[in-house]
Structure formats: structure tokens, C-alpha cells
Amino acid sequence: MSDLHQQNYQRFIDQVKADRVMWGLRFGDEWVVCDSTEFEDTEVMPVWSTEAQARAQCVDEWADYEPFEITLAEFLEIWVEDLSEDGVRIGPNWDEELDGIELDVLELVKDFA
């Protein structure tokens, strides 16, 4: 993991721990997921630590999507199991080019502890 990605990830962890929320993008019942650049046949759900960062991604093919708050409690109680079962990885605080780290959801949970 590059230093920039590590710093960005640490900001994500710190901000989500402080605010107790993270942000995904949703249109109706559909959440944004992307193909992994690291693993074949794997999807990644990008999430951001602030609404502003998530809103900045609502352009082009995601123009109809809106930032949607996911509380940390809801993420830990519901999302972790569902994402893990589906084999979906997490992309915390991806930048405008959708560049960033891809984590197994259980790795993320450990860093919230």
C-alpha cells in the first residue's frame, strides 16, 4: 500500500470512528459497486468518511446517485456479514479517479476496534 493510500485510509478510519458514520452512493435500492482491479470476479463497494467526498463522485455514470449515510453500528451489525458472504470488498475514501485500497470487510472491522 502506498504512503498516500495509507494516509487516506487512516483518515477514513479516524473520521468514521469520530463521526460514527460512513457514506456510500445509492440510487433507489441500488448501491454503487465497482469491479476490483486486484481480484478477478470480485466487486468493491466504495465508501467515504464524509458526505462531501461521496457527493464529489456523483458525476458521469453516477450522476443519478446520492450519498447515503451508513451508521457505523449498522455497518458492523448488518453490512459486514452481507458483504462478507457476497465476497464484496471495501474501497475506503477512494479518490476522484476511483483509486485507493481494496480491503476485505473483516480487515476493515479490525481497524475499527
d(CA 79, CA 71): 10
Grid cell at residue 38? 486486484
Q: Is 103:94 a contact under the CB 8 Å cutoff?
A: no
Instruction: Tell whether pTM > 0.85.
Output: yes
Domain 3-108 has CATH 3.40.1350: yes
The domain ranges of the chain are 3-108
Q: Could you read off the pLDDT of 11-61 as tens digits, one per residue?
A: 999 999 999 999 999 999 999 999 999 999 999 999 999 999 999 999 999
Does the pLDDT value for residue 83 go beyond 80? yes
When pLDDT is cut at 50, 70 and 90, the band that residue 1 belongs to is low
Greatest alpha-carbon span in the chain: 36
Collapse the DSSP code of 108 into the 3-class scheme (helix H, G, I; strand E, B; otherwise coil) and give the result: helix
* Other beta carbons less than 10 A from residue 110's beta carbon: 9
**Which pLDDT tens digit goes with each residue over 66-77?**
999 999 999 999
Q: What is the DSSP letter of 39?
A: S
61-64, long-range: CB < 8 A, 24+ apart? 62/25, 62/32, 64/27
